[in-house]
Amino acid sequence: MSKVYGVVLIGCGHIGQEHIENIYYRDNIKIVGVVDYVLERAELFSRKYSCGEKVLYSTDHKEMIARDDVDIVIVATYVNTHLQILKDCLAAGKHVLCEKPIASTVEEGKEFYDLVKASDRKVLVAHILRHNDTYTKAAELIHQGLIGDVRLIRMVQNHHIMNRERYAALLNDCSPIVDCGVHYIDVVKWFTGCDIVSVDGMGAVVNEENVPEGGFDYGMISMRLSNGGMAYYEAGWTNSTASQNIKEFVGTKGRIRLVLRDFREEHKEEGDLLEVYDDATKNYSFINIHAQYKNMNAQLQTLIDMIEHDTDGFPTMDDAFEAFCVALEADEKIRRGIKKYWEMKSLKK
C-alpha cells in the first residue's frame, strides 16, 4: 500500500481553497489541519473539507506543523510571510509546497533559495502551469521543432476587477508583474530553453485608489533571449481594462497560439485550443485539449515524487529562483519609471 501523506494547509483564502478542493479526497493524502489568521475561515475549511476524520484548525501554524502526523505543508499565504513559514517548516522537518512568488525582495528570495538548497527536505514552488496539460503539450511541440527556433513570445493577461477588496489586497502584497509574471517568465525559459539575457519594463497607475503608494496596477515587461529572440508579458489588474488572455509563440517555421477554454469564441465544450500554423504549407491545424487549468493534485503529486524518488521537481528550485529574479528586476524598473507620477501626486497634496 502506498504511503498516505499528512498535509497541513496554511492560508484559507482564494488560492488555499483551490489547493484543498483538488486534493482533500485523494487516496494518498490526508488533510490533518488548516491554518488561517482568521479563525472563522479556518473553521469553515475544517468543516467543509473533513473527509472521514475531522480536520483540525488553528491560527497558529507552528502548533500545527509540529505534529508527527504531518509530512507536507502547503503555504498559500501572502508573499511577505513565505520566508518565515518556510524556515518554520524546515525546522520542523516538513516538506513544503509554497505558492509563488517566494519572497518580497531579492535578498529574501536568495535566503529562501539558500535554505532550500541546504535542506534535506523537498520544497516545490507552485508554478502551476508546469502541471497543466495544455501548456505541457505546447512545450512538447516546440521542443520537437514544430515551429522552428522561437523568436517571439507574446503573452497578455489582464484582469477586469470586479472584486476590489481582493485585488487591492493583492496589489498591496505585490504587483501583477511579480505575482503572475513569475509563471510566464518561467514559461519562456521552459518553452525555449534559452537564457533571459536582459529585461526591461514600463507601467502605469490606472486606478490609484487600489494601488499602494509607489506601486502600479498595469505593467509590461520585455525580455531578450540568448538566441536573439524576445518575449513580452503584459499584466494589469484595473477597474477599466478588459479581461484578456493572449499566449502566442512565434518561430522561424510557424507559430502556436494557446487559447484557454474560457477565452474561446466558440467550441468551449472542446476544452483548450492549440492553433498551429505551418509556414511551409501555409496550413493551420487545431488541437483540442481537456485540461484542468490549475491541477493542484498533479502539482502535489510532483512533490511526493520528489520525496519518494529524490527528484529535483518541476520546475527546479533553480528555475523558480531565476523567474523570481527576472520578475523582481522588471518590477523595480517599472517602479523607477513611475516614480515621477507619485512625486507629482505628493506635491499636489
Q: Pick the last residue of a domain from 81, 104, 121.
A: 121
pLDDT of residue 33: 97
Q: Pick the last residue of a domain from 121, 148, 170.
A: 121
Residue 338 domain-assigned (yes or no)? yes
Same domain, 41 and 94: yes
Kindly list the distances between the CA atom of residue 325 and the CA atoms of 112, 123, 191, 332, in Å, as whole numbers in the listed order.
12, 18, 18, 11
Residue 304 domain-assigned (yes or no)? no
pLDDT of residue 87: 98
Residue 313 domain-assigned (yes or no)? no
Residue 67 domain-assigned (yes or no)? yes
Torsions phi, psi for 275 (to 5 deg): -100, 120
CATH number at residue 160: 3.30.360.10
Same domain, 115 and 135: no
Does residue 340 have a pLDDT over 90?
no
Does residue 105 have a pLDDT over 80?
yes
Sign of the CA dihedral 196, 200, 205, 211? positive
Residue 214 domain-assigned (yes or no)? yes
Residue 165 domain-assigned (yes or no)? yes
From the CB of residue 104, how many other CB atoms can be counted at a distance below 10 Å?
A: 18
Same domain, 147 and 17: no
Classify residue 162 by burial, with Cβ atoms within 10 Å: 0-12, 13-18, 19+: exposed
Does residue 2 have a pLDDT over 90?
no
What is the domain extent for residue 41? Answer: 5-121
Alpha carbon of residue 175 to chain centroid = 13
Same domain, 116 and 163: no
pTM for this prediction: 0.95
pLDDT of residue 349: 60
Does residue 345 have a pLDDT over 90?
no
**Residue 348 pLDDT grade (very low, low, confident, very high; cuts 50, 70, 90):** low
Q: Give the ranges where 5-38 is alpha helix by DSSP (H).
A: 14-21
Q: What is the pLDDT of residues 38-76, one digit of tens each?
A: 999 999 999 999 877 899 999 999 999 999 999 999 999
The CA-based angle 180-32-91, given to 5 degrees, is 70
Q: Pick the last residue of a domain from 101, 121, 141.
A: 121
pLDDT of residue 53: 80
Does residue 208 have a pLDDT over 60?
yes
Residue 55 domain-assigned (yes or no)? yes
Same domain, 187 and 281: yes
Same domain, 134 and 266: yes
CATH number at residue 22: 3.40.50.720
Same domain, 163 and 268: yes
Q: Give the ranges where the chain is alpha helix by DSSP (H).
A: 14-21, 39-49, 61-65, 82-91, 106-118, 133-143, 164-173, 176-179, 181-192, 296-309, 317-337, 339-348
Same domain, 139 and 101: no
Same domain, 290 and 177: yes
pLDDT of residue 15: 96
Does residue 20 have a pLDDT over 80?
yes
pLDDT of residue 104: 93
Same domain, 145 and 115: no
Q: Span 208-224, mean pLDDT? A: 95
Percent of the chain with pLDDT over 90: 93
Axis crossing angle, helix 39-49 with helix 14-21, rounded to the nearest 10:
20
Percent of the chain with pLDDT over 70: 99
pLDDT of residue 344: 83
CA dist., res. 142 & res. 307, Å (int)? 30
Does residue 1 have a pLDDT over 60?
no
Number of domains in the chain: 2
Closest CA to 243 of 135, 134, 161: 161
Does residue 178 have a pLDDT over 80?
yes
Q: Span 298-302, mean pLDDT? A: 98
